[in-house]
Structure 1
Amino acid sequence: MVQAWYTDKLGDDPQRPHRGKPGRSVALEQLHGLGVLYWKLDAGKYENDPELEKIRKERNCSWMDIITICKDKLPNYKEKIKMFYEEYLHLGDEIRYILDGSGYFDVMDKEDSYNQDFEF
């Protein structure tokens, strides 16, 4: 399930959702207009999913890595997750395939306002 909202400006804990008060949703069509696309795929088939392969081919995404972001499974967990909270730009398409759990991603709008989160 994808949800999108405008964020608050609090920086106390980057792992929390930062939903602004009052909560203001962002229409998924607005994210699409910014180039954020999403698909719901069968996570049980991620290694050999023809639909995922089709998306990767259409989007020209050849790189793939698989990581487990979990305190018990990721060596140097506290240090490694810090990189997820540093701003950086993606110059090309990138696919995030979430097999289990959820994640938050911040998206800038066309005016470079850093004000939208979406959750998978």
Structure 2
Amino acid sequence: MRAYYFDDEPTDQRLPHDSGEEVSLDTLDQLGVLYWSIPVAEGESIPSGVDAIAKERGYKNRDVINVSKEGLGDLYETKIKSFFEEHMHEDEEIRYILGGSGFFDVRKHAPHPNQERWIRILCEQGDLLVLPSGIYHRFTLDTNNKIKAARLFQDEPKWIPHNRGPQTDVNPYRADYLSAIQPISVA
């Protein structure tokens, strides 16, 4: 995993968009974003370390998604576009990367929207990332065009995005998220 500020250049979303400004794990933690590195052993499906975190955090269900042209078929382009729309969920988003790589972008909240910045998080095999409910984020593949991830859920598997807008800005889960994070500078 590597985190840095997104450069906001209007080019292919799958490119690194590396501003050269690194983001620390402490900054991610202040945003409620959690990270673990849990290597995948040869022939192992999901390591016991992932199971231990799932048990500790109350994740009862899981599935595996293969985000690639082969895995999504005719839905590939539509799904890639929808994943990259800025949105939030009313549940945590938990992903354990089994293979491939991609980018999760999380919105660093600021008092004024024009001060907000995207933080790009490169996730690769063995990375486990938890995005808190209410955080604005998006996802895209990198130029390898494939990622295989275990999705963990506290209840029944669901993925309901709430795209950013005035109604989502006042969603109770968004409000709870904003009250939970500590104010951090907009470096």
Q: What's the counterpart of residue 38 of structure 2?
A: 41
1:105-116 mapped onto 2 (5 Å cutoff):
105-111=104-110, 113-116=116-119
Residue identity over aligned pairs, in percent, reads 38
Q: What's the counterpart of residue 4 of structure 2?
A: 5
Q: Do the aligned partners of residues 55 and 116 (structure 1) sit closer, same or farther apart at CA in structure 2, a change above 3 Å counting?
A: same
Q: What's the counterpart of residue 120 of structure 2?
A: 117
Q: Does 1:75 align with 2:73?
A: yes
Q: Do the aligned partners of residues 65 and 58 (structure 1) sit closer, same or farther apart at CA in structure 2, a change above 3 Å counting?
A: same
- Preserved CA contact (<8 Å) 2:3 2:120: yes
The range that moved more, 108-117 or 31-40, is 108-117
Task: Please state how far the C-alpha of 1:31 moved relative to its aligned partner.
Answer: 0.7
Distance 1:85 1:114 in 2: 15
TM-score normalised to the size of structure 1?
0.82
Instruction: Provide the secondary structure at the position in 2 that maps to 1:104.
Output: strand
Structure 1: which 4+ aligned runs deviate by more than 3 Å? 44-47
Q: Do the aligned partners of residues 95 and 24 (structure 1) sit closer, same or farther apart at CA in structure 2, a change above 3 Å counting?
A: same
Instruction: Provide the secondary structure at the position in 2 that maps to 1:67.
Output: strand
More strand per residue: 2
1:46-61 mapped onto 2 (5 Å cutoff):
46-47=45-46, 49-61=47-59
Aligned residues between the structures: 116
Letter in 1 for 2:49: E
Distance 1:66 1:82 in 2: 20
Q: What's the counterpart of residue 31 of structure 1?
A: 28
Instruction: Provide the secondary structure at the position in 2 that maps to 1:102.
Output: strand
Task: Please state how far the C-alpha of 1:70 moved relative to its aligned partner.
Answer: 1.8
User: Which runs of 5 or more residues in structure 2 are unaligned?
Assistant: 124-187
Q: CA RMSD in A?
A: 1.9
Q: Do the aligned partners of residues 65 and 114 (structure 1) sit closer, same or farther apart at CA in structure 2, a change above 3 Å counting?
A: farther
The range that moved more, 103-112 or 26-35, is 103-112
User: Which runs of 5 or more residues in structure 1 are unaligned?
Assistant: none
